[in-house]
Amino acid sequence: MCELLGMSANVPTDICFSFTGLMQRGGRTGPHRDGWGIAFYEGKGLRSFHDPQPSVDSKVARLISEHPIKSCTVISHIRQANVGGVCLENTHPFSRELWGYRWCFAHNGQLDKAVFDWPLTFYKPIGTTDSEHAFCWLLDQIRTAFPDRPEDFSALMAFVHQCCEKLRALGVYNMLLSESTHLFAFCSSKLSWITRRSPFGEARLSDCEVEVDFGAVTTPNDIVTVIATEPLTCNEQWQSLAPGEMVVFVDGLVKSSFHAVFNAEQDQA
């Protein structure tokens, strides 16, 4: 399995602290040694870094953990390969263009091989993972249902949740997705989030001896939400998503949420 990390904020914010914790799980405190990637939105632009090497040993990952790249929306992933070889083209997050926006996607879990039989129309995988095939299928569905970017995302968000539920029926499908302003977080088995806002306090990472006083590096108006497969800190209260639940964040706040439409265990029984 893999691990996910996402961030939604109302002001450009760096993710150095959280990424420092995540990268430890890529070979030191966790088994996710088969590559890592991270993508930062800057307006409609997407600045991304990928490396098929373990994040804990990667000089590029160390640069990301020390260099404060500021963004309002971030998606990151560390990989433990189960489908597809360990190589650059199989390294998340993946991205494609739709409506003149660069969509970014990362997946944690494994889907039944039947997903490879789901037809693709416009978007084609570059690598060989079930994750990228699912992403291409998802964007195909969105492109067909919404040929143009809607002004109101309400119907789109509900539609994405329906598509995610179809994918969840094929196995484990924890997902982060964004087109730059909205961060979609879908839970199949395990995903947690925390929103930090004034009054800010101190946070300590679980995977290494690093702590930060957010009150010293923020303003009273800052709002920052971090999403992760497993909570990254040991002294804060994270919220867990339920299987089948999707939460959409904009500017660090919950824009909308959706609950499961089926029980995966009963359906598989």
- Domains of the chain and CATH, by start: 3-268 (3.60.20.10)
From 2, 72, 104, 187, active-site residue: 2
Does the structure show a pLDDT above 70 at 265? no
Q: What's the average model confidence in pLDDT over 156-166?
A: 98
Q: Which two tokens stand for residue 30?
A: 């966790």
What single string gives the DSSP state of each residue in 71-111?
EEEEEEEE---SSS-SSGGGPSPEEEEETTEEEEEEEES-B
- pLDDT of residue 267 exceeding 50, the answer is no
Q: What is the pLDDT of residue 268?
A: 44
Gap between the Cα atoms of 177 and 106, Å rounded:
7
Q: Within a 10 A sphere around the Cβ of 221, how many other Cβ atoms?
A: 9
Instruction: Give the model confidence (pLDDT) of 82-125 as tens digits.
Output: 888 999 999 999 999 999 999 999 999 999 999 999 999 999 99
Instruction: Return the bridge partners of 160, or none.
Output: none
Confidence band, pLDDT 50/70/90 cuts, at residue 264: low
Model confidence, pTM? 0.95
| 93 preceded by a cis bond (ω within 30 of 0) | yes
Query: Over the stretch 180-231, which tens digit does the pLDDT of each residue have?
Result: 999 999 999 999 999 999 999 999 999 999 999 999 989 999 999 999 999 9
> Annotated catalytic, 2?
yes
